Amino acid sequence: MNRERSYRLLLLALCPFVLSCVANASETINDAGTMACVADKWDETEKEKGHKFVESSVRCVLIPDDVNAPKVTEVCPGKYEYQPDGSWKATGTCTDTFPGGDTITLTWEEGSHLKEYTYKKTGGTGKYKGATGGGTYMYENLTDTLSGGRFKGVIILP
């Protein structure tokens, strides 16, 4: 009986720590699917022959592979730099908006030096407040203003 009582006391003593750990457990959501985008802005300036800078703004619809996951709209401003040797790089931000208005913010990087482009979740609002995670994506230009591709990664909720 003493041993059983000792176990109960130990469990009671550990209870606040265990509950704290459970409360701090994060949730990881697979984030993969198809993207369809339209370029609203593509303002080019050429500083010297073959050295171009572009300010862009793109809107996308993200369609998850999981049919139960919500479709998301996305707005992504960014800056591109093209070198005379044909290499290029780009960075920017996006705001993903979920049905109901919650958002996730992220940064992205593209360039001729990358096999896949990368994104990093940097926060959000509502359900996604404090979200982290990230992944990769690739797309192809279908016309001057339309593109499509795929993304894969994770969303980590605190």
Q: Which CATH number covers residue 78? A: 2.40.160.20
> For residue 15, is it within any domain?
no
Q: List, for residues 13-41, the tens digit of each pLDDT value.
A: 444 444 444 445 799 999 999 999 999 99
> For residue 18, is it within any domain?
no
Q: Which residues of 92-125 are buried (b: 16+ CB within 10 A; e: fewer)?
A: bebebebeeebbbbbebebeeeeeebbbebbebb
User: How much is the pLDDT for 14?
Assistant: 47
pLDDT higher than threshold 90 for residue 130: yes
User: How much is the pLDDT for 100?
Assistant: 97
Quote the CA–CA distance of 117 and 111 in Å, as a whole number: 7
> For residue 3, is it within any domain?
no
Quote the CA–CA distance of 72 and 48 in Å, as a whole number: 39
> For residue 150, is it within any domain?
yes
> For residue 70, is it within any domain?
yes
Q: Which domain holds residue 116?
A: 26-157
The reply to whether the predicted model has a pTM over 0.95 is no
Q: pLDDT band for position 68 (50/70/90)?
A: very high
Q: For the chain, what is the domain count?
A: 1
Q: pLDDT band for position 5 (50/70/90)?
A: very low
Any idea which residue has 């001057």 for tokens? 144
> For residue 64, is it within any domain?
yes
